[in-house]
Amino acid sequence: MIITRNCTPLLASNGRLRWDWIFYFLIACLSISCNKGNIDQNNQITGYIVDTVIINSKERILDVAGYINAADLDDDEKSFFLYNQHDHSIDEIDLNRKVFVKTFPLDAEGPNGVGQYIFGLQVLDDKLLFAKSIPFSTVIDKNGQVIQKINWLSAKDSVGNPFGAVPPRMELVVNTKDWKVVGTNLDFMKKSAFLGILSVLDNRVKNIDINLMNSFTDYFFKADGIPRPPWVYLNADENHIYVSHEYSNEIILFNPSGAFEKVVNYEPKLTPKRAKLPEILNGTREQIRKEQQKLGEQVNFQSPVWDKVNKRYFRLSTQWIHGDDSDGTAGNIRARVFLSILDAEFNLISEAELEEVPSVYYKYFAKDGKLWVCQNFSDELGFLVFDF
């Protein structure tokens, strides 16, 4: 099949070349080439739309202070669940209607006890919730009934030794059929980090070394003899389990079964890819506070979140800006917040500074292809919604 298009002839009626058209043709080619080069070299987002959403709490006092990270979005991207320390309960927010729906009371002790405090929350299938606590965690239904208790401290490792005396900082349930749980574990003696995979039914833990690039060791502080390791993030989606930490942009990927895949690194343009190594790792509380402050002023990475609509990842990072600390305190902390957008293979595709995010404390997720950043607006629960 021959396809014909109407084209401007390069030959005049006398058979001579049309140099004026050739000139414009070359200019057009050069422009396309330059634009392509600019796209390759400059991946910054030049514009976006941001809306502010305030939740109608119906006079319910929602906990928007210290426990904002003990929250999760369900798979339908409709309901947002938030722990409320005021009365030890979980509140459900309908994000489509922007309104508080109901609360689920929790028991601290007894047969349905979930512990005194909740440090993390995960929405599971079958209308179940995973509540991270200490020394054990629980899976509950929305009536507050305990379905499964998860206790790392009673588990054994692969050779039969006790798991340890401290439960993981972060935990996620990855399979409710045979009750597989993953958690981030720190070895304070070796200054290293592991991904623990707990088979609840077998009561066994498998530890996988995630300190592959020695970056956890590089930022493992001790203040007056007390360990202050880097904060380790744990997240999961339909494709991966991924682990990261605050001072480096590396992402350690595992498949949903817990098998190691690879370490991801990329080259951001708006922030360093990792903070410079601290001058000291062992010192007084004041010395270590200043070292951590210097690290936070360079960069502090958060965990990526999956945008299942556009098949991409959102990742926020922060540079702390400290106020006057002449009185010996850290002063007021402000933030410069940056967004990195990664494709499904974790390649960096664009970046932007989000000047609208005012705080260093936030919870964020992807909903309907947009980035939602949870904020405290004068003690009201709200969200900044970014559309790119």
Distance CA 80, CA 93 (A): 5
- Kind of pairing between the strands at 370-377 and 380-387: antiparallel
Q: Which has more pLDDT, 68 or 6?
A: 68
Q: Which has more pLDDT, 184 or 1?
A: 184
**230-281 pLDDT tens trace:** 999 999 998 999 999 999 999 999 999 899 999 999 999 999 999 999 999 9
Nearest partner of 197 among 132, 258, 121, 243, judged by Cα: 258
Q: Contact, 285 vs 309, CB < 8 A?
A: no
Instruction: Report the run of H or E that residue 52 belongs to, with start and end.
Output: strand 49-54
190: Cβ–Cβ under 8 A, 6 or more apart, which residues? none
Give the mean model confidence (pLDDT) for residues 161-170.
91
Per DSSP, the three-state class of 298 is helix
- Whether pLDDT at 22 is above 50: no
Distance CA 264, CA 352 (A): 20
pTM: 0.86
Q: Which has more pLDDT, 29 or 46?
A: 46
Residue 375 β-bridge partners: 382
Q: How far is CA 323 from CA 163, 277, 334, in A?
A: 43, 23, 8
Give the mean model confidence (pLDDT) for residues 4-23.
39
Per-residue b or e along 257-276, where b marks 16 or more CB atoms closer than 10 Å to that residue's CB: ebeeeeebeeebebbeebbe
Give me the chain's average pLDDT, please. Answer: 87
Residue 16 β-bridge partners: none
DSSP single-letter state for residue 326: T
Burial class (CB in 10 A: 0-12, 13-18, 19+), 141: middle
Name the pLDDT band for 68 (thresholds 50, 70, 90): confident
Query: Which residue has tokens 């502010």?
Result: 52
**330-373 pLDDT tens trace:** 557 788 999 999 999 999 999 999 999 987 778 999 999 999 99
Tokens of 333: 């902390």
Phi-psi region of 191 (alpha: psi -120 to 50; beta: other; left: phi over 0): left
> What DSSP assignment string belongs to 164-208?
-SS--SSEEEEETTTTEEEEEEEETTTTEEEEEEEETTTTEEEEE
